[in-house]
Chain A
Amino acid sequence: MANPDVTFVAKSFMEHLPVYQVLVPFVSAPLCVLFGNRQFAWYLTFLACFISFIVSILLLNQVAEFGTISYALGGWPPPIGIEYRIDFLNAFLLVLVSGMALLTSVYLKGTIDLEVERSNQTLFLTCLLLCVSGLLGVLITGDAFNLFVFLEISSLSTYVLVAQGANKDRRALTASFDYLIMGTIGATFFVIGLGFLYAATGTLNMYDIAGRIQGDLPDRTIQVAFAFILVGLGLKGALFPLHTWLPKAYSFSPTPAAIFLASTATKVAIYAIVRFLFSVFFSHPTMLETVLVNVVMPLGILAMFVAGGIAFYQRDLKRMLAFSSVSQIGYILVGVSFMSSKGLTAAIIHLFNHGITKGLLFMCAGVIFLRYKASFYKEMSGLGRIMPWTSAAFLIGGLSLIGIPGTAGFISKWILVQAALEQGSWLIALAILLSSLIAVLYVWQVTEIMYFGDSSKKGFEISVGPFSYITIWILAVATIFFGLSTSFTLEYSSEAARVLLNEFSLTD
């Protein structure tokens, strides 16, 4: 017997999915503070992340079934009201961000007692939820100013999360302060760019702006707006050489924060860059091409080599992973700068694959860090015998970082090399392969110490809960799964690239 009320609720729930995506973690955050109990806060965090994960999967299904969703917030139709617009690209990344949020919330159940003071745990979870809702908001919104507000919600809570590492290492405070300065400059640059766009078009809806800046030649205002937006978002996305905040912020923040940031925060900023490039400024392909080929691509290639080289010289696991993140961002940017369907597919799939890989590596590094109270290579000598399972999971992540066949990282690099060859740029394909050799070096260094070093140091007895190990293995299996079965990732990312380039190729 069907209850009419229930079907009504279910129907309106399905209709309002886009707003629930952001609202669930956003409302849960103050509820955590209100009740103030850290056990309750964890359950609420877990529940909120779980619901947003389910919502993101439902949204992806809806997009796959009905195409792009446009949701008018508060019933005000765009371009007057704020529009939430979901196509394949952001639906796909919503799954990544909410999924990583869910895994992080499970992981931190096992480690939070060891890393964050009890009195701060509720607030830590609150900030994590705010960060999640901010990042989800950046992904989902179609309004440029709304994007800025969500970007700042996520960034402000990120600064707090990073600073929580201070009771282990006081350098977390200066790392957080540096990040705050750089992040705010980035956000302000973004706002300046938006101001110019608004002055030129009189609208803030991204798709409306795109329609109004079409013309033969972009005027000076549009060019300036583009430059400011690219640099501003580049600062947030740790585009080489604007990455200087990233290594410190990742290596001194508490592990749950590092996991979530490394796997999602920079990805979301790069998403915003891609969105502006191909959904807003697409009507000026020559301007895009000039900037992408002359600025973004060289910087991307430079990032692959220089940041990879710096990662090789690190003697601290977390710092090495942070620099490797910067170099991996280089691959994504090179993929974007090809401006081809294959290149964008490679970039989008690498956003996803690198997200889960880096999440896995930071999860392992977190457990290792807690055992040895440091993450220096020399402490970890012989780890393969002391913590065989975690070391094995770390190895899987490392292989994926290099791009060994059978892991997720291989798929994205394979498509990226294909995209380079499609463009006829042999040199770039060669650069991608050579820089992968650097990844071999810095991953091998750790592997050698883990498996061939003498296990004289046993570390401290710690009680990391089973939750952390479960999430590590979920991600390790996912890394291999997405390396063997590409139907999910490849289908959605190529579809996303197709939708993005659809408008773009029309104007060519």
Chain B
Amino acid sequence: MVGLTLDQLKILLTGHSIYWLFIILMMTGFYIVVSRGNLIKKIIGLNLFQTSVFLFYISIGKVSGGTAPILPMKLKVDDFSVYSNPLPHVLILTAIVVGVATTALGLSLIIRIKEAYNSIEEHDLLEEDRSQFSNENNEDRKFGGFF
């Protein structure tokens, strides 16, 4: 608001629209991770968070007026044609693999948690641990059946 003319505001909103989209998506994902108690929802939020970064990378690889960075083998290559930068795409392929591995690991952990606690709500998990271990710091604990 302070010292911002209408033109500057226009540039801020439209000229950087891809960044706005990236930030909105990223914050949505981040908010889900922080605010939801359901572990599956947390993983979904995490995925959204990561995906926004992938989109950000892809967007910085774009060269305006550039075409797909594929060199035709037999066709005549126009030396003056502009190509988009393929490197961010390659990086993101790697990052997607990392993301898939993380999601798979997270989901399999959720399965184990479900088996062990019979719930995947963070609140329930905390409650159960608290009731079970509330006295572990001051009283003797019975180990039977637990180990």
Give the interface of A toward B (CB within 8 A).
145, 148-149, 152, 156, 159-160, 163, 166, 168, 170-171, 173-174, 176-177, 180-181, 184-185, 187-188, 191-192, 195, 198-199, 204, 315-316, 373-374, 376, 378
Docked-complex contact A192 and B109, CB < 8 angstroms: no
With A174-B113, A177-B113, A195-B60 in contact, do A376 and B136 touch (Cβ < 8 Å)? yes
B82 within 8 A of A: no
With A170-B116, A171-B129 in contact, do A177 and B110 touch (Cβ < 8 Å)? yes
With A192-B56, A195-B57, A373-B143 in contact, do A180 and B109 touch (Cβ < 8 Å)? yes
Q: How far is the CA of A91 from the CA of B112 in the complex (A)?
A: 39
Which of A149, A191, A199 gathers the greatest number of chain B CB atoms within 10 Å? A191
**Nearest chain-A residue to B102 (Cβ)?**
A184
**Nearest chain-A residue to B103 (Cβ)?**
A184
With A177-B113, A184-B46 in contact, do A168 and B147 touch (Cβ < 8 Å)? yes
Give the interface of B toward A (CB within 8 A).
26, 30, 33, 39, 42, 46, 49-50, 53, 56-57, 60, 88, 91, 94-95, 98, 101-102, 105-106, 109-110, 112-113, 116-117, 125, 129, 133, 136-138, 140-141, 143, 147
Docked-complex contact B102 and A156, CB < 8 angstroms: yes
Q: How far is the CA of A168 from the CA of B136 in the complex (A)?
A: 15
Docked-complex contact A170 and B106, CB < 8 angstroms: no
Docked-complex contact A173 and B102, CB < 8 angstroms: no
**Nearest chain-B residue to A174 (Cβ)?**
B125
**Nearest chain-B residue to A189 (Cβ)?**
B53
Contacts of A195 in B (CB 8 A): 53, 56-57, 60, 88
- Of A145, A185, A315, A374, which contacts B94 at CB under 8 A? A145
Which of B30, B56, B98 gathers the greatest number of chain A CB atoms within 10 Å? B98
Identify 18 new A-B residue pairs, CB closer than 8 A, beyond the known A149-B98, A177-B113.
Answer: A148-B98, A156-B105, A159-B105, A160-B105, A166-B112, A168-B147, A173-B116, A174-B129, A187-B98, A188-B53, A191-B95, A315-B136, A316-B136, A316-B137, A373-B143, A376-B136, A376-B137, A376-B141
Contacts of B112 in A (CB 8 A): 163, 166, 173
Classify the interface of chain B: helix, strand, loop or mixed. Answer: helix
- Of B39, B50, B60, B136, which contacts A177 at CB under 8 A? B39
Q: How far is the CB of B133 from chain A (nearest CB, A)?
A: 8
> Can you list 27 residue pairs at the A/B interface with Cβ under 8 Å?
A148-B95, A148-B98, A156-B98, A156-B105, A163-B109, A166-B112, A173-B109, A173-B112, A173-B116, A174-B129, A177-B109, A177-B113, A180-B106, A184-B50, A185-B46, A185-B49, A187-B98, A188-B50, A192-B53, A195-B56, A195-B57, A195-B60, A198-B60, A204-B91, A316-B136, A374-B141, A374-B143
Docked-complex contact A373 and B147, CB < 8 angstroms: yes
Q: How far is the CB of B80 from chain A (nearest CB, A)?
A: 21
Docked-complex contact A149 and B109, CB < 8 angstroms: no
Q: How far is the CA of A163 from the CA of B102 in the complex (A)?
A: 14
Q: How far is the CB of A249 from chain B (nearest CB, A)?
A: 13
Contacts of A184 in B (CB 8 A): 46, 50, 102
Q: How far is the CA of A188 from the CA of B46 in the complex (A)?
A: 9
Docked-complex contact B46 and A181, CB < 8 angstroms: yes
**Nearest chain-B residue to A314 (Cβ)?**
B137
Q: How far is the CA of A160 from the CA of B108 in the complex (A)?
A: 10
Q: How far is the CA of A484 from the CA of B50 in the complex (A)?
A: 48
Contacts of A185 in B (CB 8 A): 30, 33, 46, 49
Q: How far is the CA of A184 from the CA of B106 in the complex (A)?
A: 10
Identify the 10 closest CB pairs spanning chains A and B, nearest first: A170-B116, A315-B137, A199-B60, A152-B98, A173-B113, A177-B109, A173-B112, A184-B102, A195-B57, A180-B106
Contacts of B95 in A (CB 8 A): 148, 191
Q: How far is the CA of A160 from the CA of B91 in the complex (A)?
A: 25
Q: How far is the CA of A176 from the CA of B39 in the complex (A)?
A: 12
Q: How far is the CB of B57 from chain A (nearest CB, A)?
A: 5
Contacts of A176 in B (CB 8 A): 109
Docked-complex contact A315 and B105, CB < 8 angstroms: no
Contacts of A315 in B (CB 8 A): 136-138
Q: How far is the CB of B26 from chain A (nearest CB, A)?
A: 8
Q: How far is the CB of A275 from chain B (nearest CB, A)?
A: 19
**Nearest chain-B residue to A176 (Cβ)?**
B109
Docked-complex contact A188 and B49, CB < 8 angstroms: yes
Contacts of B106 in A (CB 8 A): 177, 180-181
Q: How far is the CA of A373 from the CA of B147 in the complex (A)?
A: 8
Q: How far is the CB of A9 from chain B (nearest CB, A)?
A: 33
**Nearest chain-A residue to B120 (Cβ)?**
A177
Contacts of B91 in A (CB 8 A): 145, 204
Contacts of B94 in A (CB 8 A): 145, 149
Contacts of B50 in A (CB 8 A): 184, 188
Q: How far is the CB of B146 from chain A (nearest CB, A)?
A: 8
